[in-house]
Amino acid sequence: MGRKKITARKNFPLFFSPAIILILFLVVYPILQTLFLSFLSSSGEFVGLSNYSEILSRKDILNVEGFPKWPPLGALIHNTIWILIHLPLSMFSGLALAITLKDVKGSSIVKSVIFLGMITPMIVAGIMLRYTFTERVGIVTAFFDVLGFEGLSKTWMAYPNTALFALIFGSVWLWTGFSMIVYSAGLATIPKEYYEAAKIDGAGPFKTFRRITFPLLRPLNIVVITMTVLYDLKIFDIVWAATYGGPGKASTVLAFEMWLQAFYFFNFNGAAVIATLLTLLTSVVTIPMIRYMVRR
């Protein structure tokens, strides 16, 4: 028995070697190569931070002169606006749906319908959003037309001041199913005795939510926030399919600009700069969240 344990310990690293090799080859090496490429010119000469200053000075990335005039404000600001609007809407919509459907008979069917947005290919979703916000065709414009809001019954993606918001509100529909499923799983782990005790004490629905439900779902908030922010930072497909960053760069985002630099302008060094910036932004979000979860 002792020999078997010793042999298992000796062979333990061998079980991880294929995974480690794949991670090094498919993850670590591309990251280092991209970082190295961001400091080189197109001819292969080391230029330091020149590529970074050149990319960040582009109005497509950061249009400081246009602030607070809208739009465009640059891909970096657009990503920030996307997070500020999409994160709370999708997070609280998912939580509200999870609580509402918790004890409803047949709720699994409703949840499956809501979750369809998550499994819809993003290219298909982008095309659907384009028609959803089209005048006389889309359901959103028809809704505002019935209410008498003529300014909102137009084709949203044809105008610079509404194109980005159409994509953001559409992405709420696509992503809400994720937060709903996460919160539904969390609600299932809360003992029913807590709610029964709160009911006996005379606590109302709001007080029960504030004192029992929300505190016990706090670890799941970290998961939802982290995954949603990462989703918002790497958003590309629906922008490409719905607006192509337009009109007039009003709905462009960082991932789309990275694609343009690499595969449209063939500026791979500039694309590497944007990829590095995206990596730094995601690290700023994920590392504190991971530390918080480990401490708990």
**Per-residue pLDDT at 31 exceeds 80:** yes
List, for residues 175-190, the tens digit of each pLDDT value.
Answer: 999 999 999 999 888 8
In-domain check, residue 187: yes
- Looking at residue 46, what DSSP letter applies? B
**Averaged pLDDT for residues 77-103:** 92
Tokens of 79: 């990503």
**Per-residue pLDDT at 129 exceeds 50:** yes
In-domain check, residue 93: yes
**Per-residue pLDDT at 66 exceeds 80:** no
139 vs 12, higher pLDDT: 139
CB atoms within 10 A of CB 173: 19
**Per-residue pLDDT at 192 exceeds 50:** yes
Separation CA 127–CA 239 (nearest Å): 10
Distance from chain centroid for Cα 151: 29
Q: What integer best gives the mean pLDDT of the chain?
A: 86
Q: How far is CA 60 from CA 253, 268, 278, in A?
A: 9, 16, 15
In-domain check, residue 8: no
Which run of H or of E encompasses 224?
A: helix 218-233
List, for residues 224-273, the tens digit of each pLDDT value.
Answer: 988 999 999 999 999 999 999 988 889 999 999 999 999 999 999 999 99
Domain count, the chain: 1
pLDDT band at 70, cuts 50/70/90? Answer: low
In-domain check, residue 31: no
Among 2-11, 74-83, 185-194, the range scoring the smallest mean pLDDT is 2-11
Residue 7's pLDDT is: 55
Distance from chain centroid for Cα 119: 15
Question: What CATH number is associated with residue 240?
Answer: 1.10.3720.10
Residue 52 near residue 205 (C-beta atoms within 8 A): no
Full-prediction pTM beyond 0.85? Answer: yes
**Averaged pLDDT for residues 96-110:** 87
| 38 closest CA partner among 274, 273, 210 | 273
In-domain check, residue 181: yes
Using DSSP's 3-state secondary structure scheme, residue 40 falls into: strand
| 274 closest CA partner among 287, 260, 294 | 260
In-domain check, residue 172: yes
In-domain check, residue 137: yes
Residue 63 near residue 72 (C-beta atoms within 8 A): yes
In-domain check, residue 7: no
* Range(s) of the domain holding residue 277: 38-295
If you search the block for the tokens 């999870």, which residue do you land on?
Answer: 98
